[in-house]
Structure 1
């Protein structure tokens, strides 16, 4: 798998088509994940950047479960935390999307269930992940030179 940079509009459209439909993310940055034949398999869109409080939202989608490798995961969070200097990433997910809810919790996101967030008949989660929680997670301790007791 290869990462695709500089094609924000195409990757954002791919993610929107799989998640929110005809709406778009507005001004955003996006990273795509390509297979060995350069087909877009997944995308991450960083949107609604608020420099004052240091917040950004992330939306992602894929056509396969095999896209979320350690390298992709590192880039996914290095961009907001290391490059932009965000202190928090926000993720919104349908409560029906059990796979993404499970992954977000495993990554260390804090979940907040919001009734009817996705419509009258669909609850949703707002997940938050701070830079401190990410840097102290099981996924990044080795990168940041920390041990479990740090």
Structure 2
């Protein structure tokens, strides 16, 4: 899955566009909150760690291993956070959505769900995916609940799966959505964002 031109996605609530190094200043106001990064693999709650986060995301895009977006709240026009496609395997018709964080002022507003709608729609309808995976730290119960509410199926826990902050290894809970499930989820869970309905 190659992204040869910039991907910009938009629905009634959210706009996603490619993350750029110049987004640093706008993201500072939402990223500098230690609580946001508690269950994320890295941190971005100070100038050094946010700069490193952006550099890693942009390097991942350059190496075609990741496609990072900024999440823009269409109600305010503010940059609210970031999310990415990664683990993109064209021959298996699958990818993962993750590296997602949204500023605390934008949580529980529907913005994250709107962003997931855009990413899932594009993955299934434009990229031809048969499977989209989502993963989260086993300790992040809030994220797991959000994935269940959006209709993702919990598949299990990968023990000692990835290195995370502080030199520890995290257990990762894997969720997925399959192409046949997406049609129904678009009409139900994500109906408010579905322009076809």
Q: What RMSD over aligned residues (CA atoms) do the two structures have, in Å?
A: 3.4
Partners of 1:103 and 1:77 in 2: CA distance: 15
Partners of 2:173 and 2:22 in 1: CA distance: 26
Instruction: Report 1:1-150 matches (<5 A).
Output: 2-7=14-19, 18=37, 19-21=40-42, 24=56, 26=60, 27=64, 28-35=66-73, 38-59=77-98, 60-64=100-104, 65=107, 66=109, 68=111, 71-111=114-154, 112-118=156-162, 122-137=170-185, 138-140=188-190, 143=194
Q: CA-to-partner distance for each residue in 1:51-104, whole Å, 9 max, x for gaps?
A: 111011111111131253664342121121111111111111001111110011
Please say if residues 17 and 71 of structure 2, whose CA atoms lie closer than 8 Å, have aligned partners that are also in contact: no
Aligned length: 143
Q: What is the CA distance between 1:129 and its match in structure 2?
A: 1.2
Partners of 2:127 and 2:169 in 1: CA distance: 36
- Structure 2 unmatched runs, 5+: 1-12, 43-51
Larger mean CA deviation between 78-87 and 62-71 belongs to 62-71
Q: What is the CA distance between 1:117 and its match in structure 2?
A: 2.5
Structure 1 residues 37 and 109, CA, compared in 2 at 3 Å: closer, same or farther?
Answer: closer
Scaled by the length of structure 1, the TM-score of the pair is 0.73
Partners of 2:191 and 2:77 in 1: CA distance: 32
Larger RCO (CA within 8 A; separation ≥ 6): 2
Partners of 2:148 and 2:14 in 1: CA distance: 26
Please say if residues 14 and 114 of structure 2, whose CA atoms lie closer than 8 Å, have aligned partners that are also in contact: no
Runs of 4+ aligned structure 1 residues displaced above 6 Å come to: none
SS at structure 2 position matched to 1:29: strand
Scaled by the length of structure 2, the TM-score of the pair is 0.58
Partners of 2:196 and 2:80 in 1: CA distance: 32
- Structure 1 unmatched runs, 5+: none
